[in-house]
Amino acid sequence: MITGKNYIGDRLSSLGKVIYKTINPKLNVENPTDFFEATSEEIGQAVQLAWEAFSVYRRTPGSQRASFLNAIADEILALDHELVDCYTSESGLPEGRAIGERGRTVGQLRSFATLISNEDWRENTFDAAEPDRSPMPKADLRKTLVPLGPVAVFGASNFPLAFSAAGGDTASALAVGCPVIVKAHPMHLGTSELVSGAIIKAAKKTGMPNGVFSSVIGGKEAGMSLVNHPHVKAVGFTGSLGGGRALFDLAAKRREPIPVFAEMGSVNPVIITPNAISKRSSAISDSYAASITLGAGQFCTSPGLLLTIAGEETDNFVRDLADKTIQVEAQCMLHPNIKNGFEAHGAEVIDQSGVSIVAAHTGAQVNYADPKIAMVSGSDFLANPQMGQEVFGPFSLVVKAEDEAQLVEIVNNLEGQLTGTIIAEDNDGLNLTTLVDAMEQKVGRIIFNGVPTGVEVCPSMHHGGPYPASTDSRFTAVGADAIKRWVRPVSYQSFPKTLLPNSLKTK
Amino acid sequence: MITGKNYIGDRLSSLGKVIYKTINPKLNVENPTDFFEATSEEIGQAVQLAWEAFSVYRRTPGSQRASFLNAIADEILALDHELVDCYTSESGLPEGRAIGERGRTVGQLRSFATLISNEDWRENTFDAAEPDRSPMPKADLRKTLVPLGPVAVFGASNFPLAFSAAGGDTASALAVGCPVIVKAHPMHLGTSELVSGAIIKAAKKTGMPNGVFSSVIGGKEAGMSLVNHPHVKAVGFTGSLGGGRALFDLAAKRREPIPVFAEMGSVNPVIITPNAISKRSSAISDSYAASITLGAGQFCTSPGLLLTIAGEETDNFVRDLADKTIQVEAQCMLHPNIKNGFEAHGAEVIDQSGVSIVAAHTGAQVNYADPKIAMVSGSDFLANPQMGQEVFGPFSLVVKAEDEAQLVEIVNNLEGQLTGTIIAEDNDGLNLTTLVDAMEQKVGRIIFNGVPTGVEVCPSMHHGGPYPASTDSRFTAVGADAIKRWVRPVSYQSFPKTLLPNSLKTK
């Protein structure tokens, strides 16, 4: 049962007077539950509990934390159709997506559990003493990684499970011994409460300290009190540039600044060479019509910018792509606000001088998105950086460069991106080395002859990128290395074995 | 010959009208050379050259960059007594220290050269494609580390060689393919010019692109233009909390925020248990009188805070330590400003309620530091956080806690530190596990029965710590991992081998 309350540690709490409601975007009605905004008192309690839990939790053996993560996965699966129903009613996303995303979430939890089942993740190093070294003896030195402390996690609108209460940020932080306080995304508070309940159950079953996890409801103010709390030591965020940057600025202004990893989306540029168009126009337009509209374009890796070179075949390709894109059935967006943002930001780009719509349906149901493809010349695009903004939804802007040199110039002028893609022939007319080199400077992941949507969870995945794709290009939100955001090294010099952390006693 | 000019790439330049002079603190006279402050035009040129060099330099094979680093080391050694003489005349430090620090600097350069002679530092990972995986095929993914871009390095006052023009920040950034623009520390501009000349010579000899290194002269304004330049992608700083925090704030406010690693010093708390005092009071006071006064206390790891428990033996120990400390001959400080700061900050601490001087000489020569030991009760210390501030120089405050519980409370109330030390017996009366645990939360390195001064350059060294010891506790300024500040991951998905970076072609 969904209560609408905050989890302050293992206690349900509803001291606040402000009520939040979620919306069923398909039906365009409010869902029944009243959700209670967390008061600053409740947020303070949650952080204090996390701080107290930290002193115990950071010392738990990896095997116990692994059991905890696996138990969370089990409890999430045990929620079964209650979770799937709540997810779909709050997000407008189809059941298949709910089940798929649940699988991803559970998979992430289990893969972090596997990661910490031994101590390799601590990257321990050992330097033996050299007491006879001249002119100065060398001391025994050993280094390990330790958790930073309580982490505040901000759930994403577009991944109610995989980047929310028990998503990648939470799983990676809990894995290394950091307690987590989640600020639930206001668009899916019921889903968040169900998952938070699963985490609390798992914590109890596996004997974790109270406070290892809390979940609070609120808006900007709640987020600010979390980030400003002296016992919060790091922040994970997935969402808009505006939101991520605001938290980053806040954290940087603290007396003790703390790291914020904000993954803030991207237009994910795709270079499509004339040669590739010439050879397989139809296959490319098929795959891109699908990628642009996947999940109503509500992915941070959605391809929002297609870069090519002007020509007759290009024009044919763009028309073909646009036709196929608008033939994709309109899909429900996550929330009326997301739908409104899609329309408003799309209109902003389309209103810029030189931009024309290639094709767009209209007349979709309320909260459903009509896919759109727009087009602009390379020169107009270069002259107006506003065209490079993200339009969150099934929208893509095709930029037709005059020639190869202008294409490279466009890439060189891009802002930082999560991904960049190159669609080309193996023996392409263009200098692919130059294009790859230019793209590498702008992105965290480059795809060759594929689509950017679909973020594999594996060691070689990097999900991050130069600003504004993320606030720190050196870290990733997906994959095993996601834990590196929450740990710091400590060296032990000349320590007796009895006082060393267990993982440093092995040599 | 020292010209007093800036190195804008390989060109000596002196467009500025403002003149800087260095001081010989031993003689208390200005050194003869006029140094020309860099204009904003010169700084812009240096960064532009670095940006252009980056496109070539980041692609150089590791073996070539290794040759470059080794050539820098050779050229520094070739400067021979010219460098040693300039160093001593600008720093007041003795010749032995100059030669020792030169050895450390050359050693760092060579060890980064060794590190990049193969590609292990890139932490490459490989995930093989699984085209038949169900429900979705898995793409081939490979991940590597690439350099961030031009790095601005701010030289430290207290290490004219090892943390300056060719110091650890420069060496680690150049190693991974980042061009460097150094802002020379105003206290040793001649030393900086000589070393910068050595770097430029080495760059020419090994065929590195012009702009891979520049060195500019200036104060706060020059530093600000560097950090604000859009083509500067990261900052390395060693110095005061005020200076480091100002650069951090500036970088965080940029349109594109960039990472700043500022190492800002520390009071390096040392717990000395009553049991240890009881067993070996004299040996401890010997080693700490030496550590407190080493290099006139001008090390970031200088022990400025000794924590113990009140008692008769403690009082005897403190008197003994103070006597031994003031018997150490007064040493020349780096600069009149450093000497004035030492006196002023020491007086600030001593003026706090409850603080008394145990022993202090007076009457040292101008610019020479009289060592001082002060003392305060645990309760007074807890009541007044200002006592925990760093006094840069041969000064240490002894805090006498009432009991073990108060000792732990004092540690729990400390700010972040580079190091923490525990002097104890193997079977001590105190609960060492609790003390180690408390200390671990505050520091980047814990030493058992040793002194914090002396920072070994090796893989297990961590030189950094929770704020305000550094701006990001996840990174180190010393050791092989120092390169991690300047690199970011990039994933390559479904790439043909011909287009992969060389180090990812191996599988």
This model of the complex carries an ipTM of: 0.96
Helix A62-91, helix A95-115: angle, nearest 10:
170
Distance from CA of A276 to the nearest CA of B (A): 15
The neighbouring-strand residues paired with A130 are A138
Cα dihedral angle (B174, B180, B186, B191), rounded to 10 degrees? 40
Predicted confidence (pLDDT) per residue in A35-52, tens digit: 999 999 999 999 999 999
- pLDDT for A362 beyond 90: no
Q: How far is CA A395 from CA A235, A330, A350, A398, B207, in A?
A: 30, 12, 11, 10, 48
Query: B455 in a domain, yes or no?
Result: no
Q: Residue B329's Cα: distance from chain center in Å? A: 26
Q: Are residues A365 and A254 both part of a single domain?
A: no
Q: What are the tens digits of pLDDT across the range A492-505?
A: 999 999 999 999 99
Average pLDDT over residues A422-441: 96
- CA dist B258 and B232 (Å) reads 8
Rounded mean pLDDT of A276-298?
A: 97
Structural domain count, chain B: 2
Question: Do B399 and B290 share a domain, yes or no?
Answer: yes
Asked if B382 is an interface residue toward chain A (Cβ–Cβ < 8 A), one would say: no
Q: Is the pLDDT of residue A1 over 90?
A: no
The reply to whether A233 and A317 lie within a common domain is no
φ/ψ (deg, to 5) at B34: -90, 125
**Per-residue model confidence (pLDDT) at position B348:** 96
Inter-chain residue contact A257 with B252, CB threshold 8 Å: yes
Asked if A52 is an active-site residue, the reply is no
User: What average pLDDT does range A245-258 have in this prediction?
Assistant: 98
Q: Within this chain, do residues B60 and B160 fall inside the same structural domain, yes or no?
A: yes
Q: Determine the pLDDT at residue A370.
A: 93
What are the pLDDT digits (tens) for B264-308? 989 999 999 999 999 999 999 999 999 999 999 999 999 999 999
Predicted local confidence at residue B267, as pLDDT: 97
Residue A346 pLDDT? 95
| Total count of residues recorded for chain B | 507
B448 touches A: beta carbon within 8 Å:
yes
What are the tens digits of pLDDT across the range B328-344? 999 999 999 999 999 99
Please give the mean pLDDT across all residues of chain B. Answer: 96
Q: What is the pLDDT of residue B8?
A: 98
Same domain as B395, residue B341: yes
Is residue B1 domain-resident?
no
pLDDT range class, residue B22, cuts 50, 70, 90: very high
- For residues B328 and B199, state if they share a domain: no
Contact yes or no for B178/B151 (Cβ under 8 A): yes
Beta strands at B443-448 and B487-493: parallel, antiparallel or unpaired: unpaired
Residues B105, B109, B110, B113, Cα dihedral to 10°: 170
Cα distance between residue B372 and residue B389, in whole Å: 15
Q: Is the dihedral of CA B336, B399, A52, B446 positive or negative?
A: positive
pLDDT value of residue B362:
80
* Residues of B carrying an active site annotation: 263, 300
Is B474 in contact with A489 (Cβ distance < 8 A)? yes
- Asked if A103 has any chain B CB less than 8 Å from its own CB, the reply is no
A339-368 in b/e form (b: 16+ CB < 10 A) is bebbbebbeebbebeebeebbbeeebeebb
In whole angstroms, what is the distance from residue B211 CA to residue B150 CA? 10
Q: Cβ separation of A460 and B499 shorter than 8 Å?
A: no
- Is residue B109 scored above 90 in pLDDT? yes
Chain B residues whose beta carbon lies within 8 Å of the beta carbon of residue A461? 127, 141, 143, 491
Question: Helix, strand or coil for residue A246?
Answer: helix
Give B36→chain A minimum CA distance, Å: 34
Pairwise CB contact (< 8 Å): A141 & B456: yes
**Sequence-ordered list of residues with C-beta below 8 angstroms from that of A81, at least 6 positions apart, any chain:** none
Q: Does residue A149 sit in the same domain as residue A193?
A: yes
Question: From CA A237, how far away is CA A224, in angstroms rounded?
Answer: 13
Q: What is the mean pLDDT of residues A199-213?
A: 98
CA neighbor of B115 nearest in space, from B164, B70, B151, B165: B70
The predicted pLDDT at position B507 comes to 86
Q: Helix, strand, or coil here: A271?
A: strand
* Pairs from B408-411 (Cβ < 8 Å, separation ≥ 24): B408/B434, B408/B435, B408/B438, B409/B378, B409/B382, B410/B307, B410/B378, B410/B381, B410/B382, B411/B269, B411/B271, B411/B307, B411/B435, B411/B438, B411/B439, B411/B442
pLDDT score recorded for residue B442: 98
- A127 lies within 8 A of chain B by CB: yes
| A323 in a structural domain | yes
User: Between B416, B437, B460, which is nearest A127 by CB?
Assistant: B460
| pLDDT at A361 > cutoff 90 | no
DSSP B209: P
Cα–Cα distance for residue pair B309/A122, rounded to 1 Å = 35
Q: Name the DSSP class of A193.
A: H
Q: How far apart are CA B66 and CA B58, in angstroms?
A: 13
> What single string gives the DSSP state of each residue in A115-167?
HTTSSGGG--EEE--BTT-SSSPBPPEEEEEEE-S-EEEE--SS-TTTTSTTS
Q: How many residues does chain A have?
A: 507
Block residue for tokens 């670095």 = B50
Residues in chain B closer than 8 A to A248 (CB atoms): 252, 257
The stretch B84-88 carries a mean pLDDT of 98
**What backbone phi and psi angles, to 5 degrees, belong to A423?**
-105, 110
Query: What b/e sequence results for A4-43 when a residue is b if at least 16 CB atoms lie within 10 Å of its CB, and e otherwise?
Result: bbbbbbbeebbebeeebebbbbbeeeebebebbbbbbebb
What's at B31, amino acid-wise? N
- Residue range B121-150: mean pLDDT, rounded: 96
Residue A409 clears pLDDT 90, i.e. is over it: yes
CA dist., res. B197 & res. A40, Å (int):
58
Q: Pick B448's closest partner by Cβ from A445, A450, A493.
A: A493
Say whether both A41 and A107 belong to one domain.
Answer: yes
Interface test with B, best of A412, A434, A439, A491 (most B CBs within 10 A): A491
Is there a contact between A142 and B460 (Cβ–Cβ < 8 Å)?
yes
Supply the pLDDT for residue B385. 87
Note whether residue B163 is domain-resident. yes
Closest C-alpha to B321, from B292, B352, B361, B350: B292
Domain presence at residue A505: no
Structure tokens at B44: 């812009």
- Is the pLDDT score of A206 beyond 90? yes
B307 Cα to chain A: minimum distance (Å): 19
Beta bridge partners of A272: A423
Q: Which of A252, A450, A459 sits opposite B127 (nearest CB)?
A: A459
Q: Is the per-residue pLDDT at A507 higher than 90?
A: no
Considering only CA atoms, which of A317, A296, A443, A442 is closest in space to residue A375?
A317
Contact A128, B460 (CB under 8 A): no
Let me know: does B239 contact B260? Beta carbons within 8 Å.
no
The CATH number that applies at residue B354 is 3.40.309.10
CA distance B468 to chain A (A): 7
Same domain, A230 and A363: no
In this complex, the residue of A55, A432, A499 whose CB is nearest that of residue B433 is A499
B443 CB neighbours in chain A (<8 A) are 490
Same domain, B429 and B314: yes
Packing angle of the helix pair B241-253, A241-253 (nearest 10 deg): 170
Using DSSP, state whether B13 is helix, strand or coil: strand
Q: Suggest the residue from B491, B492, B502, B503 to mutate for an interface test with chain A (most A CBs closer than 10 A).
A: B491
Q: Is the peptide bond before B135 cis (omega within 30 degrees of 0)?
A: yes
Interatomic CA distance for residues A156 and A160, integer angstroms: 7
The residue in chain B having the minimum alpha-carbon distance to the alpha carbon of residue A415 is B256
Give the tens place of pLDDT for each residue, A447-496: 999 999 999 989 999 999 999 999 999 999 999 999 999 999 999 999 99
Choose among A426, A461, A488: nearest Cβ to B474.
Answer: A488
Residues B278 and B242 placed together within one structural domain of the fold: no
Strand B269-272 relative to strand B417-423, pairing: parallel
* A164 in Cβ contact with A191 (< 8 Å): yes
Average pLDDT over residues B6-12: 98
Interface test with B, best of A273, A408, A414, A462 (most B CBs within 10 A): A462
pLDDT computed for residue B361 by the predictor: 80
Does the pTM of the predicted model rise above 0.95? Answer: yes
The two most distant CA atoms of chain A are separated, in Å, by 82
**A19 and chain B in contact, CB less than 8 A:** no
* B203 within a domain of the structure (yes/no): yes
- Among the listed residues A410, A407, A442, A443, the one whose alpha carbon sits nearest the alpha carbon of residue A424: A407
Average pLDDT over residues B174-182: 98
**Domain coverage including residue B47:** 6-264+470-488
CATH of the domain at A102: 3.40.605.10
B472-505 confidence digits (pLDDT tens):
999 999 999 999 999 999 999 999 999 999 999 9
Q: pLDDT (tens digit, 9 = 90+) per residue, B350-397?
A: 999 999 999 888 888 999 999 999 999 999 999 998 999 999 999 999
- Asked if pLDDT for residue B413 goes beyond 90, the answer is yes
CA distance B285 to B315: 12
- Per the domain annotation, does A498 fall within a domain? no
The reply to whether B29 and B85 lie within a common domain is yes
For the segment B415-461, what is each residue's pLDDT rounded down to a tens digit? 999 999 999 998 899 999 999 999 999 999 999 999 999 999 899 99
Residue A300 counted as domain residue: yes
> pLDDT band at residue A363, thresholds of 50, 70 and 90?
confident
Question: Which residue among A432, A461, A472 sits closest to B259, beta carbon to beta carbon?
Answer: A472
Closest-CA residue of B relative to A499 is B433
What is the DSSP code (8-state) at residue B138? B
pLDDT higher than 90, residue A265: no
The dihedral built from the CA positions of residue B221, B226, B229 and B233, taken in this order, carries a sign that is negative
Q: Give, rounded to a whole angstrom, the gap between the first and last alpha carbons of chain B.
A: 51
